[in-house]
């Protein structure tokens, strides 16, 4: 019996490992889309046209509009976030999207939104290389992470734990997810620099690229954050024990003295992915410096304070600056929860495919994909030519 249990556990670990590799590989269709749109940028003047047009540029810093920010190198995912938000908006003419991407994806991302406008909403596409503020001096975290031996070992699999048959498959899955290369990319850390990147904006909603917007989000700007910086859904309250039972002890290593002496294991965690940020309130805090301090301490301790990711240092940096918002605004777990109540999914304002099983991957849960795929234009020439096929 014990041997059988061990075999079952081992097969589950192998399954998680295969899912990890499936989740971190870039599907051919998405790679093709990026290449074709990049080629279009160089050969088609329409794909290079200014976004937004010159007469609308002042609106990029007009605080009477609703400003959304998404940072990603996934063009298809970005298109779904923007399209779903505009379709769900009661006043799309008041929506401004700031899409931030990396240098290699910038031409393709620009092409997509230049050739597929979402008027009357306004879209700006910027590459990280176009922000003068993003220098090595201002973002010391990056150099530290890139040059740290433990990080390199972590991402190149020198300590891969697949052979450890005693590992709990769920913990193993979360360890694997922490190995995703996106966690050390600048795009994933960008949200901690929003006050500096958008110096003229007062309040923004930041969205991850694996979300779908299903209801008008304009009421988010009316929420009184009571002087706090970050409006977020708390993840320690709810019937779903796997998604909504996260406290600091879920993320941090409380056997480490630095963690044990500074943090409360029972403090409630909250979710990244759909956050209202009051940038004016943020500018009066030391959130960014606190974030940098803890990331560096984690590197000094050889990554033993927490599993890699951008949420743990943010949980510390935003302490005392989070205003809980109603959970109906942000439903989590569609990327690792197979058994989900579809009626609840359809009612949520924002649904979030956090977890490995993204809706653009073959491993995405089939019954949850239609909420995402209905915002993909499968008749678009680029999507058809790259054989990104509508799921059957």
pLDDT band with cut points at 50, 70 and 90 for residue 140: confident
Read off the tokens for 166: 């005693």
pLDDT score for 178 = 46
pLDDT score for 27 = 82
Type and span of the H or E element at 176:
helix 169-178
Mean pLDDT of the chain: 87
8-state DSSP, 331: B
pLDDT band with cut points at 50, 70 and 90 for residue 51: very high
Angle at 201 between CA 207 and CA 110, to 5 degrees: 55
pLDDT score for 256 = 97
Each residue's pLDDT tens digit, 282-328 = 999 999 999 999 998 998 888 899 977 889 999 999 999 999 999 99
For the chain, domains (ranges, CATH) are: 28-385 (3.90.550.10)
CA gap 24, 178 in Å, rounded: 11
pTM to 2 decimal places: 0.88
Each residue's pLDDT tens digit, 63-100 = 999 999 999 999 999 999 999 999 999 999 999 999 99
Beta-bridged to residue 206, according to DSSP, are: 69, 275
pLDDT value at 262 more than 60: yes
- CA distance readout (Å), 332 to 138, 236, 268, 285, 290: 32, 12, 16, 28, 27
pLDDT band with cut points at 50, 70 and 90 for residue 18: very low
Nearest to 287 by CA among 325, 247, 321: 321
**Burial profile 321-358: b = 16 or more Cβ within 10 angstroms, e = fewer:** bbbebebebbbbbbbbbeebeeeebeebbbbbbbbbbb
Residue 315, classed as helix, strand or coil, is helix
Each residue's pLDDT tens digit, 338-356 = 667 899 999 999 999 998 8
pLDDT value at 242 more than 90: no
pLDDT value at 29 more than 80: yes
CA gap 52, 82 in Å, rounded: 14
pLDDT score for 159 = 47
Nearby residues of 102 by Cβ (< 8 Å), 6 or more positions away: 73, 127, 128, 185, 186, 187
Each residue's pLDDT tens digit, 159-214 = 444 445 455 555 555 554 544 555 567 888 899 999 999 999 999 999 999 999 99
CA gap 352, 340 in Å, rounded: 12
Unique residue bearing structure tokens 């294991």: 265
pLDDT score for 163 = 45
Average pLDDT over residues 8-37: 69
Determine contact, residues 120/92, Cβ cutoff 8 Å: yes
Nearest to 347 by CA among 376, 323, 371: 371
CA gap 253, 276 in Å, rounded: 28
CA gap 163, 10 in Å, rounded: 8
- CA distance readout (Å), 127 to 190, 285, 308: 12, 27, 25
pLDDT value at 102 more than 90: yes
Beta-bridged to residue 306, according to DSSP, are: 252
Nearby residues of 177 by Cβ (< 8 Å), 6 or more positions away: 20, 23, 355, 356
How many CB atoms sit inside 10 A of residue 56's CB?
14
Within 186-337, strands assigned E span: 203-207, 211-213, 230-232, 274-278, 322-324
Nearest to 308 by CA among 294, 321, 318: 294
pLDDT score for 392 = 61
pLDDT score for 139 = 84
pLDDT band with cut points at 50, 70 and 90 for residue 21: very low
Beta-bridged to residue 213, according to DSSP, are: 350
pLDDT score for 158 = 47
């Amino acid at each position: 019996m014990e041997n059988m249990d061990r075999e079952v556990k081992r097969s589950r670990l192998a399954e998680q490992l295969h899912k990890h590799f499936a989740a971190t590989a870039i599907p051919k269709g998405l790679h093709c889309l990026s290449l074709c749109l990049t080629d279009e940028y160089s050969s088609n003047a329409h794909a290079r046209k200014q976004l937004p047009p010159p007469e609308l540029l002042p609106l990029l810093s007009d605080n009477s509009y609703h400003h959304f920010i998404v940072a990603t190198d996934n063009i298809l995912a970005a298109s779904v976030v923007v399209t779903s938000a505009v379709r769900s908006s009661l006043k799309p003419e008041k929506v401004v999207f700031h899409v931030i991407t990396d240098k290699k994806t910038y031409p393709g991302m620009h092409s997509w939104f230049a050739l597929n406008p979402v008027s009357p909403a306004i879209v700006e596409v910027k590459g990280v290389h176009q922000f003068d503020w993003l220098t090595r001096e201002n973002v010391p975290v990056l150099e530290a992470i890139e040059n740290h031996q433990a990080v390199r070992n972590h991402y190149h699999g020198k300590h891969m734990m697949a052979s450890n048959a005693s590992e709990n498959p769920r913990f193993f899955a979360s360890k694997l997810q922490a190995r995703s290369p996106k966690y050390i990319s600048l795009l994933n850390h960008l949200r901690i620099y929003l006050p500096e990147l958008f110096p003229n904006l007062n309040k923004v909603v930041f969205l991850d690229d694996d979300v779908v917007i299903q209801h008008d989000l304009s009421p988010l700007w009316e929420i009184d954050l009571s002087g706090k910086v970050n409006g977020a859904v708390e993840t320690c309250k709810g019937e779903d024990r796997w998604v909504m039972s996260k406290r600091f002890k879920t993320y941090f290593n409380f056997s480490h003295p630095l963690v044990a002496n500074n943090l409360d294991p029972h403090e409630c965690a909250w979710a990244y992915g759909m956050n209202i940020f009051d940038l004016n309130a943020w500018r009066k805090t030391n959130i960014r410096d606190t974030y940098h301090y803890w990331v560096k301490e984690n590197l000094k301790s050889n990554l033993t304070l927490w599993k890699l990711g951008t949420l743990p240092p943010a949980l510390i940096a935003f302490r005392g600056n989070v205003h809980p918002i109603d959970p109906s605004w942000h439903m989590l777990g569609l990327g690792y929860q197979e058994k989900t109540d579809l009626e609840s999914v359809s009612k949520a304002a924002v649904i979030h495919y956090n977890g490995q099983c993204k809706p653009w991957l073959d491993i995405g849960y089939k019954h949850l994909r239609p909420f995402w795929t209905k915002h993909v234009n499968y008749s678009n020439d680029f999507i058809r030519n790259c054989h990104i096929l509508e799921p059957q």
